[in-house]
Chains A and B, each alone.
Chain A
Amino acid sequence: MIEVKGLTKYYGELAAVHDLEFSIDRGEVIGFLGLNGAGKTTALKILGCILLPTAGDVTVDGIDIARDPHAVRRRIGFLPDTPPLYNDMTVGRYLKFAAELRGVPSSEADKAVTEAEEKTSTREVHDQPIFSLSHGYRQRVGVAQALVHKPKLLILDEPTSGLDPVQIVEMRATIRALRGEHTVLLSSHILSEISQTCDRLLVIQRGEIVAQGSEQDLAARLGGGGTIEVEVAAPSARAIEVARTVTGIGTCSVLREDGGVALLSLQGAPELRPKVVRALVQNGIDLLRIDRGAARLESIFLRLTKDKDKEQVQ
């Protein structure tokens, strides 16, 4: 769906992105992960044909963005970090305007608006003026405008930015529901967000891709296969002894032990969780909670970006 080779963008002397190379298959949900100022937004703007690159080749659906940006824009839905909403319009009118702007015939625009509103759960605010919407609804209307013309590629720049926890869960569900029908490229600096929504991650730092792959791939590359966090109502030593019997579980450590409750970190792929649950329960250990290591992706990300920074210093 997307082929990027040697993509470079300079702002004066500063290289916002430098020699980016990656490809994205049709139907994938890809996360663009990086700290603020890493070059995510610049890269997304180039893919969205808003900015022109200084150098490099980018093709979307086989079309070169420099040669035929119009054809590319027809295939793209773009949500910038601030949703481009006209406050004076109602949601319905705004989405109809966005649809017609992207070439949906006037006779089919109402149907396209209804479908986009249903996908993003914004049907109930159809007649409401945009200025009166909550932040969560504004963000969802932003997504609706990006997909109203049924683009092949959806580019969402920080779609959960500024949302409260409930709104984040809703937005996550909305994005997941788009999987398959659209290829989705989203950016975030919220790591848990990326890991839960995306099939694959592209980690960008100082304008360069420093790693790409699934969370497990990245963890494996950095010498670990992921971690599992387990909270049990049992002595930690006993729980660790049982957990180690599961094939694939490596080093186990105690994160906290207090009042007969122990929190353990088990080195192993998150996919081993069902086996760990079975082993603990079959051995009579009360399991209170089990989850993938919350800090895992965070640490992967920090290591990747630190490594890059060290290279820059050297």
Chain B
Amino acid sequence: MSTALLIARRELGGYFRSMTGYVIAGLVLLIDGLMFNAFVLSAGEMYSADVLANFFYISFGTTVIASVFISMRLVAEERQTGTLVLLTSSPVHDWEIIVGKYLSAMAFLAIMTLASVYIPALIFVNGKVSIGHLAAGYLGLLLVGSATLAIGVFGSALARTQVLAAIFSGVIVVSVLIAHLLSRVTDRPLKDTFMALALYARHFPPFQTGQIHLRDVVYYVVVTYVALFAAIRVMEARRWK
């Protein structure tokens, strides 16, 4: 695990040493702020709890999109520039490479997500929302981020270029995002399966409204685990090619 942390530390440093990290974080915070102003503050009177729920709804979208862009470079860029050889020729397990990269992206996403806390803080000061609501919303955002980052790591491990990585992971994320639409046109048991897979429709609204259900937490953790597991298998398979 110490090797995974060593890789994570280098990767995290890489985000802050290059402009990429600052550009992604800046854009996400800007879009969060603009959309909050455009769609929430100008929507007329509403309860502060609804304002907060809408903020988490907007942040869900920006978190998912940011995760795809943050993760696309993780393995694909190293493969493109040839630096992956440094890791694959060292006494490092493939799972340590994948977990290290995932942890760095997760830490960066967490810093970026928590940097938007000034918006809910304003709602907290000027309205009537609980700390619990705030904490549940942010937990939801971090779990969604974790799941989409893991999908992104899988896409990045699969692709030869960063653009392909973004396309692969984008397609998977959109597929699970709209899975609930398929549940409307299918019968059981597929109907329930598609609904259970839905990245947003089934699992995120409770977090938006300040509720934490074990079922939703488990869902995001399982998606993270499965995607990382698949990424590790891809890395191992690449050694045969």
Residues of A within 8 A of B (CB): 11, 48-52, 70-71, 73-74, 76, 78, 80, 82-86, 88-89, 97-98, 100-103, 145
Contact = CB atoms under 8 A, between A and B. Distances in A.
A51 B83 contact: no
A97 B91 contact: no
B18 A88 contact: yes
B10 A76 contact: no
B85 A103 contact: no
B47 interface: no
Given A82-B82, A101-B3, A73 B89 contact: yes
Given A50-B239, A88-B17, A101 B87 contact: yes
B240 interface: yes
Contacts of A49: 89
Contact of A101 (B82, B84, B86): B86
B91 A73 contact: yes
15 contacts: A50-B89, A50-B239, A51-B239, A52-B239, A73-B90, A73-B91, A84-B84, A86-B14, A88-B17, A89-B10, A89-B13, A97-B10, A101-B86, A101-B90, A145-B86
B171 interface: no
A97 B6 contact: yes
Given A50-B239, A86-B10, A98-B90, 14 more contacts: A50-B88, A52-B239, A73-B92, A78-B89, A82-B81, A84-B84, A84-B86, A85-B83, A88-B17, A88-B18, A89-B13, A98-B86, A101-B86, A103-B91
Contacts of A48: 89
Given A101-B90, A102-B90, A84 B85 contact: yes
**Chain A interface SS verdict (over half):** loop
Contacts of B188: none
Nearest to B14: A88
Interface string B68-91: 000000000000011111111111
B83 A89 contact: no
Contacts of B84: 84
Residue with the greatest number of chain A CB neighbours at <10 A, chosen from B6, B86, B92: B86
Of B6, B10, B92, most A-chain CB atoms within 10 Å: B10
B241 interface: yes
Nearest to A76: B89
A100 B3 CA distance: 8
Contacts of B85: 50, 78, 80, 84
A80 B6 CA distance: 22
A82 B90 CA distance: 16
A100 B92 CA distance: 11
A48 B90 CA distance: 9
4 shortest A-B CB distances, which residue pairs? A84-B86, A78-B89, A82-B82, A88-B17
Nearest to A74: B91
Contacts of A52: 239-240
Contacts of A83: 82
Interface centre among A74, A76, A100 (most CB of B within 10 A): A100
Contacts of A84: 82-86
Contacts of B3: 101
A76 B89 CA distance: 8
B33 to A, nearest CB: 29
Nearest to B3: A101
A82 B239 CA distance: 18
A82 B18 CA distance: 22
Among B10, B14, B90, the one with the most A-chain Cβ atoms within 10 Å of its Cβ is B90
- Centre residue among B3, B6, B18, B240 by max chain A CB count within 10 A: B240
Nearest to B17: A88
Nearest to B18: A88
B14 to A, nearest CB: 5
B91 A102 contact: yes
B23 to A, nearest CB: 14
Interface in B72-118: 81-93
Nearest to B10: A97
Interface in B16-42: 17-18
A78 B87 CA distance: 11
A51 B81 CA distance: 18
Nearest to A101: B90
